[in-house]
Structure 1
């Protein structure tokens, strides 16, 4: 499985070398990658249907419990088939949709990386590796959404998507770390055995909140949903692949996967029902205020994701069965409708549903795909959507509480979703063909074959649900610890309340379609309400934050180094003073200190004199020389206390510092002599306070009992483990090797910066601006 995951990344690297041929002669070559992966995963059909689980484990960072563990069970199997199967059709569709694009090879590269990330995400059995692939989907989707990078709207949409899902990624990391600590494992399949321990932990609520934040941002739940309609600026293959079948369902997958670990809890179930219910109704109603085909599909997608979260929140066997079926149902009809929309847009140059009509005369195969997808979307009998819709109603009717409310919510949502499907899959093809579209050409086979295949599968599975019952649906429920032996998917259940609700949905959707036409008036009304939308509120908060940041920068980061240092020292003084005042038992035992020697007193006098000379010097060169004297005095103290290594190090550093200062003296601004004595007095008080507090803290440290355990360890092991006789050098080079390497790196970076400043040549007007 690891090779299958890495295949997409390796292929994207290969495109760097064969990209020019992919754009011309080998446009169909990239489609072989997802096709091959689909065939690879399809071979596990018999094993998965038999209830087997395929596992592979690779050691990675075992000391932290982070390994590359992959697990192919029913839930992961469904998603791998969707990712690779729909991926193949999207790659095939892309070869025609973007055939004249100069960056077709780049697009395939992004798409391949995204496919690899999604496969890694759904196959990971280690929650930390799942997080890594989760973040990779956000990064690759950023490049796909912003593929038309010359468009400001595309760039902005990509940033919104990355920002929202990126925040969710941080929340997932936090939740994963805490969950791993509580369960004492990062392996998801092992966490199931620790369910009682996790549920009883005081950190359970915090874990659940972090997981909710990750899932809601990724799967576009209210109020984080607004990034998804904006992402429709991406090319249609992106909308089809990411926003109907794969990435937006990553959050749903996460909730489904962790239900055996965190589910069956009032907080878990109530939160998911609340957010899912609000999202599915809110987004469904929004579909009537859109004329753009992609906009309609975007909000119907958000509504469908809300339904999935809502069903997972219900948590019953019937609800989870409905969610499992609806994942497949939605992927098939929504991917079809997106591909149909892309073909219409490419052929006619518009996605305005109010002007589209009669297109079946020139694109009959596309019309057939749209009709079939609309049937499944509306839950018409003979389609897999009919079975999925019935299961949703069975899930709500089986609840012990709020049956009428929750069922009514589901019915209303499905009516609006049906209406959206009719608008996209039916309306553009019926009626009289407008004159402006009479010259439109019939699209080539690569543009209509993929949607026809997906739409046909929705009908085939509807007529023969046994094709997916044992091989896909039952294994999904088994993967979340639910007995699926008595589950039977059927087209006809008799005259039941579920059938009445289904008929109500179908009739309601048709009435809405015939009575309500998309108009500019509805769009205008929606735009007026945009001011109170979550996106507008967040934009206002961002604007306020930018204003605050500007004020903060002008006041505290105004370009004067002395101000930065003053603020840092002032804060440090406040914190240290507070610490000392809190410790009322603090007493310095002066009797424990050794007596001052003549040498120490002389060195101290030299240091004090050098300090005052540095402060009051009127020449920069004199100030630099005096600061060097302070450093050399410290060298003498190291020598007195038998630390020649430290003395030599201090000597080298101070000498180098003085030389560097002298070298850059002629590049520095005119020496600043402060005439404002109030400012000098303020700085003097601040410096004395800081120095006094440091002295007190140093005395407090010296008064503490000495723990010689660490020093004994270094003394006993310096020669044995590191083969060095000088303990100080051994500590720096071996025991603190990484720290020393970082310090050397910092010094190298600083040296490069100094060299760059020395070589800087500014023009006259640039000097004035500085």
Structure 2
């Protein structure tokens, strides 16, 4: 499984060097990658359908319990087949849609990296590795959405999508850390046996909230939904792949994967039902006021995602079954409609549904695909969409959370989705063909075959649901923690309440389609409420954030190094001082201290004089020289306390520091102008406080019992392991050799920087700038 995941990234890396091979007529060969992966995952269908769960684990950071653990069960198999199967058709479609594009190989690189990230996400059994792949999907989708980087709208949409989904990624990481703290493991399959312990933990609610934010941002739930319509600025293959079958369903997958762990609790079920219901109704209503085909499909996608969240929130066997079927339903018809829209846009140059009609006369195969997808979207038999709609109604009616408001919400949503599907899939092909479209020609098979195949597949699964019943649907429902033994998929469930609701949906939806026509007037009407939309409110909030950021920056990032140092020292003093306030027991054995000698007294006086002279002198060079005196005094202390090696090191460093200071400062004015006495007083108080804190810490260290274990280890092993008799040298050169090498490297880099500054000769024009 790890190889299957890495192939997407390896192919993207390969395209960096051999991308030219996949331009022109050979670009279709890129689709062999997802096709091969699709065949690979199909091999596991018999084992998964028989109840087997396949696990693979590779050590990554075992000390933290973070491994590359992967699980292939019914749920992950369902998503893997969607990712690779629809990915194959999108790859093939792209070779014709973007034929001759300057950056076609770059697009394939982004697309294959995204595919690898999605596979890693749905197969991960470790929540930390799941987070890593989650973020990789956000990053790769950022490049895909902003592929048309010369268009400012595309760049803005990509940044918006990255910002919203990136926030969700942060909360997913927090959820993983909280769940790891509760359960003692980051492995999702191990959490399944701790459901009651997790639900009873005080941090359960916190973990659930974090999971919700991650899922809602990724799957475009209200009020985080607005990034998805903006992402329609991306090329059609991106919209098809990311926004119908893969990325936007990552949040749905997250909720499904953690339903057996966190579900069956009031906060979990109630929140998902409410958010899902609001999202599906709100977005479905928006489809009435859109004239751009991609805009209609975007809002219908958000509504479909709301339905899935709603069904997962219900949490019963029937609603989880309906959710599993609807995932397939939506992927098939929505991918078809997006591909059809791409063909229309590619051939006519417009996506305005009010300007499109009669295209069946020039694009008949595309019209057939659009019609079949619209039928599936509307839930008309014998499509699989009808089966999904019946299961949704039955699951809602039989749920304990059933009430008239919820059933009304789901029926209204389905009616509006009926309308949206027919507007997007049928209207552009009916009516009279405008004269300007009479010379259109059919695109190549690589463009029209994929949508036709998906549309026919939707009908095939509807007529023969047994094809997916035992192989895909039952294992998926089992993975969700429900009993799928008696699951039986069929178009006809008898004349019952669900069937009546289906008839109502079809009749009312058909009436709406023939009566209500999309128009620019309706679109302008909804535009009047744009200032109250979540997107506008967030943009206004971001304006206040910009103001606050500017204010914060002017205070803390003002360009003065002394202020940065003062801020750091101040917070250090406050934090350390606060922790020491409660520790009043400072016990120091004065009898164990040696008597103060005349030499130590002399050095102390020399130190104090050097410090005072450094503080009060007005000459830069004199201050540097006084600092050298302070360093020399410390060297003498090391000598008196039998540490000649440290003294030599200190002497070398201090001497070099003084020389560097002189070289850097020798061209500056000779004297300092220290007229701001308030600043000097502030710095003085801060310095005294910092010194007092360090002194108290040193006394506390002296009061602690001495542990000679480390010292004894170095003394015993210095000669045996490092062949050195001087323990200090051995520690610096051998036991801490890497640390010492880094310190030397830092010193060398600093010296190079100083040398570069000394050699810098700016032109007069550059100095003015």
Query: Fold conserved (TM > 0.5)?
Result: yes
Moved more, 56-65 or 655-664: 56-65
Map Cα deviations across residues 54-80 of structure 1 (whole Å, 9 max, x no partner).
222323322322222222211111111
| 1:470 and 2:504 correspond | no
DSSP 3-state at the match of 1:70: strand
Moved more, 154-163 or 547-556: 547-556
1:251 corresponds to which residue? 251
Structure 1 residue 723: Cα displacement = 6.1
Map Cα deviations across residues 392-437 of structure 1 (whole Å, 9 max, x no partner).
1111111224422211111111111111111110111111112232
DSSP 3-state at the match of 2:24: coil
The change in CA–CA distance for 1:405 and 1:758 in structure 2 (over 3 A counts) is: farther
Moved more, 757-766 or 433-442: 757-766
1:167 corresponds to which residue? 167
1:336 corresponds to which residue? 336
Matches within 5 A, 1:356-755: 356-586=356-586, 590=590, 593-666=593-666, 668=668, 671-716=671-716, 725-729=725-729, 731-732=731-732, 743=743, 746-747=746-747, 750-751=750-751, 753-755=753-755
> Does structure 1 conserve the Cα–Cα contact (< 8 Å) formed by 2:34 and 2:84?
yes
The change in CA–CA distance for 1:7 and 1:401 in structure 2 (over 3 A counts) is: closer
| 1:318 and 2:313 correspond | no
> Does structure 2 conserve the Cα–Cα contact (< 8 Å) formed by 1:667 and 1:758?
no
> Does structure 1 conserve the Cα–Cα contact (< 8 Å) formed by 2:387 and 2:490?
yes
CA distance in 2, matches of 1:681, 1:295: 63
1:146 corresponds to which residue? 146
Structure 1 residue 383: Cα displacement = 0.3
Matches within 5 A, 1:240-279: 240-279=240-279
> Does structure 1 conserve the Cα–Cα contact (< 8 Å) formed by 2:357 and 2:428?
yes
The change in CA–CA distance for 1:715 and 1:408 in structure 2 (over 3 A counts) is: farther
DSSP 3-state at the match of 1:642: coil
Unaligned runs of 5+ in 2: none
2:212 corresponds to which residue? 212
> Does structure 2 conserve the Cα–Cα contact (< 8 Å) formed by 1:15 and 1:109?
yes
The change in CA–CA distance for 1:757 and 1:319 in structure 2 (over 3 A counts) is: farther
> Does structure 1 conserve the Cα–Cα contact (< 8 Å) formed by 2:393 and 2:498?
yes
Map Cα deviations across residues 700-727 of structure 1 (whole Å, 9 max, x no partner).
3333443444444554555666665544
CA distance in 1, matches of 2:715, 2:89: 67
Map Cα deviations across residues 625-646 of structure 1 (whole Å, 9 max, x no partner).
2111111211111222223333
CA distance in 1, matches of 2:638, 2:366: 85
Structure 1 residue 757: Cα displacement = 3.6
Structure 1 residue 742: Cα displacement = 5.5
Moved more, 191-200 or 230-239: 191-200
2:197 corresponds to which residue? 197
CA distance in 1, matches of 2:534, 2:750: 44
Moved more, 177-186 or 317-326: 177-186
The change in CA–CA distance for 1:719 and 1:144 in structure 2 (over 3 A counts) is: farther
2:228 corresponds to which residue? 228
The change in CA–CA distance for 1:670 and 1:360 in structure 2 (over 3 A counts) is: farther
> Does structure 1 conserve the Cα–Cα contact (< 8 Å) formed by 2:621 and 2:670?
no
The change in CA–CA distance for 1:77 and 1:716 in structure 2 (over 3 A counts) is: same
CA distance in 2, matches of 1:541, 1:756: 45
Moved more, 289-298 or 577-586: 577-586
> Does structure 2 conserve the Cα–Cα contact (< 8 Å) formed by 1:592 and 1:703?
no
Q: TM-score, normalised by structure 2?
A: 0.95
Map Cα deviations across residues 586-638 of structure 1 (whole Å, 9 max, x no partner).
56665554332211111111111112222233332222121111112111112
Q: How many residues align?
A: 769
DSSP 3-state at the match of 2:369: helix
> Does structure 1 conserve the Cα–Cα contact (< 8 Å) formed by 2:314 and 2:401?
no
The change in CA–CA distance for 1:615 and 1:11 in structure 2 (over 3 A counts) is: same
The change in CA–CA distance for 1:515 and 1:733 in structure 2 (over 3 A counts) is: farther
The change in CA–CA distance for 1:426 and 1:746 in structure 2 (over 3 A counts) is: farther
CA distance in 1, matches of 2:153, 2:380: 37
Q: CA RMSD in A?
A: 2.2
Structure 1 residue 458: Cα displacement = 0.4
CA distance in 1, matches of 2:53, 2:727: 55
1:295 corresponds to which residue? 295
CA distance in 2, matches of 1:281, 1:722: 73
CA distance in 2, matches of 1:169, 1:646: 48
CA distance in 1, matches of 2:479, 2:750: 54
Map Cα deviations across residues 215-256 of structure 1 (whole Å, 9 max, x no partner).
111111111111111111111101100111011111111111
Moved more, 188-197 or 381-390: 188-197
Structure 1 residue 121: Cα displacement = 1.3
The change in CA–CA distance for 1:591 and 1:536 in structure 2 (over 3 A counts) is: farther
CA distance in 2, matches of 1:87, 1:538: 33
Q: TM-score, normalised by structure 1?
A: 0.95
1:45 corresponds to which residue? 45
CA distance in 1, matches of 2:696, 2:548: 37
DSSP 3-state at the match of 1:469: helix
DSSP 3-state at the match of 1:225: coil
The change in CA–CA distance for 1:708 and 1:146 in structure 2 (over 3 A counts) is: same
The change in CA–CA distance for 1:711 and 1:679 in structure 2 (over 3 A counts) is: same
| 1:110 and 2:110 correspond | yes
CA distance in 2, matches of 1:591, 1:658: 39
2:72 corresponds to which residue? 72
Map Cα deviations across residues 298-327 of structure 1 (whole Å, 9 max, x no partner).
111111111111111111000100000001
> Does structure 1 conserve the Cα–Cα contact (< 8 Å) formed by 2:619 and 2:670?
no
Map Cα deviations across residues 319-348 of structure 1 (whole Å, 9 max, x no partner).
100000001000000001110111111111
CA distance in 2, matches of 1:670, 1:536: 57
Moved more, 325-334 or 52-61: 52-61
CA distance in 2, matches of 1:18, 1:583: 65
Structure 1 residue 290: Cα displacement = 1.4
CA distance in 1, matches of 2:393, 2:578: 62
The change in CA–CA distance for 1:736 and 1:414 in structure 2 (over 3 A counts) is: farther
CA distance in 2, matches of 1:263, 1:768: 65
> Does structure 1 conserve the Cα–Cα contact (< 8 Å) formed by 2:76 and 2:123?
yes
The change in CA–CA distance for 1:189 and 1:563 in structure 2 (over 3 A counts) is: closer
CA distance in 1, matches of 2:70, 2:561: 52
1:176 corresponds to which residue? 176
CA distance in 1, matches of 2:100, 2:265: 53
Moved more, 514-523 or 128-137: 514-523
CA distance in 1, matches of 2:309, 2:173: 21
